[in-house]
Each structure stands twice: as C-alpha cells, then as structure tokens.
C-alpha cells in the first residue's frame, strides 16, 4: 500500500489585534477660544508678576522715591541690600528659619514614610480610624491650638524643669504637630500606588522589613518624600503666628524679623521702604530656589496615586 500524502492545511497568519483607542481625559481649556485662554493667562500672570516686579524695582530705589509712590526709579542703588543686614537681624532670622524649617522637613518626611508604610502594608485594628483622623486634623485651624500648645510647653518648665518656649526645639515640635498629618497622608497616597510584588520579591531574597523599607520603598518613594518635605519646609518658613509666640529675639525666624521690621517703620519720619522690599525678596529667594530645584518631583509626587 502506498501512503497517500494529505496536504497540510495552510498556515494561518495571526492578525494583529485591532487598535483599541485609549481613553483620553478631555482638555477643559480646549473648550475656550484661544484668545480667551490667552487673556486669562495674561491676567493671571499680571496678578502675580506686577506686585513682585514692583517690589523688585522698589528694592533698588531710594526711600524717598518709594514713599512718594514712584514706580519707575530715577536712579538705581544697591545700598538697600547692603544696609538691611545692619538695620535688622536678618542674617540671624534666615539662619533660624533654615535650621528650623530644614529640621521639620527632614524629620517629618522620615516619620511620614515609616508611618505610612505601616498604615498601608500592615493590617491592624484601628488603621481606618487613624487614616480618617489624618484627614480630620487638616480641618483644625492652627489658631485654636496656639494657646493649648503654649500652656503645655510652659508647664514643662514647671513640672519637668525643661525649657521649651523660646527655643528652636520647641518651634520644631510645634511645626511637626501640623506637618506630620499632611506628610503622612501624602505618603499613604503614594505608597498605595507601589506594587507589592517588589517587596515580596525582596523578602524572598532574604530582606527583612527594615531592609525592604530602606532598599525598596524609600528609593521608589522619592517624589512623595520630596513633596512631604517641601510642604513641611514651607510650613515652618512662612509661619508668623507660632514663631512670634514661641520664640525670643535670639531664636526669631525670618518671617518674624520681617514683621517686626515692618511694624517699626509705621509712623516714622521716613520709613525704610527700600530696605523692607529688599529684605522681603531675600527671604523669598530660598523658597523660589526650592521650587525650581524640585519642580519635577513635586509634579510627580502630587499626581501619584490618583490613577490606578
């Protein structure tokens, strides 16, 4: 018998899957006419840049020209930037602000990472209540806590013989009271978006929980950590209320120094407006540099966790 060769069926080529269009979030600004968008952007830029531009111009003008309401300077002088360091203790205020705000930013970010990791990865009773409390604490005005915090720190002098009011340590603890809840919630939102499989793989390779936190979680959480640190830094840098109550002249921050400088110029024969404008620009410069350096981390950290 002869074998009959049966023809093999023709190979079918797999067709590529049809292109499925991805959903794109509609651009709200595209619904506006182009000229209207340009007008709105120009108005917003003017509201921000015009006051800042006038402050910059006034810082290079003599005090007489600023007091007369002159906008364009007749002469440009840099004496305001030289004399302001001797008129007020601006250098000491900047040093105190950098020390206090930097310590608050570092401590708040580190504690927020550890706390958020426990809240996200560890299941225990009361975890949901803690998360809700973090959100609820954001609605408490700081002015309501000024007197209780001052009384509590003053009592430490009487009962524990520890001086807290008037020290930088007391100011750091005060700012941590408000910075920790927000920083922890930012890190909770960010850590929820990290894949758990990376941590499980590290534990299979022999890493402990601390090793996973140090080698996996923290390196992948830099955008969230920087967001938490920057907002904690701004809380300490811009505060005037608590810094004016919890400090003495040697530990006053830059914001308090500017406030005192502005109050002393009221009712004088010729207020030092030029030096006041120059001091305001110098105090705002660290915040501007901070935003420019960490701008891309801030955008990535704020939007993390919003899409699953």
Asked if pLDDT for residue 144 goes beyond 90, the answer is no
Q: pLDDT per residue over 171-222, tens digit each?
A: 999 999 889 988 998 888 888 888 888 888 888 888 888 888 888 888 888 8
Look at 1-15, 114-128, 197-211, 270-284 and tell me which has the smallest mean pLDDT. Answer: 1-15
What tokens were used for 301? 């950290």
- Mean pLDDT, rounded, for 13-42: 65
- Mean pLDDT, rounded, for 61-70: 83
pLDDT band at 253 (very low <50, low <70, confident <90, very high): very high
Asked if pLDDT for residue 6 goes beyond 60, the answer is no
Asked if pLDDT for residue 246 goes beyond 50, the answer is yes
Closest CA to 93 of 302, 303, 298, 280: 280
* Domains identified in the chain and CATH numbers: 33-77 (no CATH), 88-303 (1.10.3720.10)
Asked if pLDDT for residue 25 goes beyond 60, the answer is no
Look at 49-58, 176-185, 197-206, 241-250 and tell me which has the smallest mean pLDDT. Answer: 197-206
Higher-pLDDT residue of 1 and 90 is: 90
pLDDT at 308: 42
CA 285 to chain centre: 15
With residues binned 3-state (H G I as helix, E B as strand, rest as coil), the percentages for the chain, rounded to 5, are 70, 0, 30
Asked if pLDDT for residue 30 goes beyond 70, the answer is no
Distance, CA of 207 to CA of 53 (rounded, Å): 54
């Amino acid at each position: 018998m002869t074998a009959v060769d049966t023809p093999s069926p023709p190979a079918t080529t797999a067709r590529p899957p049809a292109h499925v269009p991805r959903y794109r979030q509609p651009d709200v600004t595209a619904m506006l006419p182009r000229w209207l968008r340009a007008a709105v952007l120009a108005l917003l830029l003017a509201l921000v840049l015009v006051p800042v531009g006038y402050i910059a111009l006034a810082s290079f003008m003599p005090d007489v020209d600023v007091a007369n309401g002159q906008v364009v300077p007749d002469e440009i002088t840099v004496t305001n930037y030289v004399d302001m360091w001797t008129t007020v203790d601006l250098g000491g205020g900047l040093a105190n602000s950098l020390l206090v705000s930097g310590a608050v930013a570092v401590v708040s970010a580190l504690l927020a990472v550890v706390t958020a990791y426990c809240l996200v990865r560890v299941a225990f009773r009361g975890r949901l209540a803690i998360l809700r409390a973090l959100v609820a604490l954001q609605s408490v005005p700081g002015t309501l806590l000024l007197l209780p915090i001052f009384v509590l720190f003053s009592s430490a002098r009487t009962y524990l013989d520890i001086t807290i009011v008037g020290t930088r340590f007391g100011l750091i603890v005060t700012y941590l009271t408000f910075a920790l809840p927000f920083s922890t919630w930012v890190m909770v939102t960010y850590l929820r978006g990290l894949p758990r499989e990376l941590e499980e793989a590290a534990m299979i390779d022999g890493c402990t929980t601390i090793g996973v936190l140090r080698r996996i979680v923290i390196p992948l959480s830099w955008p969230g950590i920087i967001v938490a640190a920057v907002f904690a830094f701004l809380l300490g840098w811009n505060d005037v209320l608590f810094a004016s109550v919890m400090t003495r002249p040697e530990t006053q921050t830059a914001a308090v120094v500017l406030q005192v400088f502005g109050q002393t110029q009221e009712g004088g024969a010729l207020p030092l407006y030029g030096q006041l404008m120059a001091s305001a620009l110098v105090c705002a410069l660290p915040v501007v540099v901070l935003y420019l350096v960490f701008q891309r981390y801030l955008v990535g950290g704020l939007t993390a966790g919003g899409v699953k």
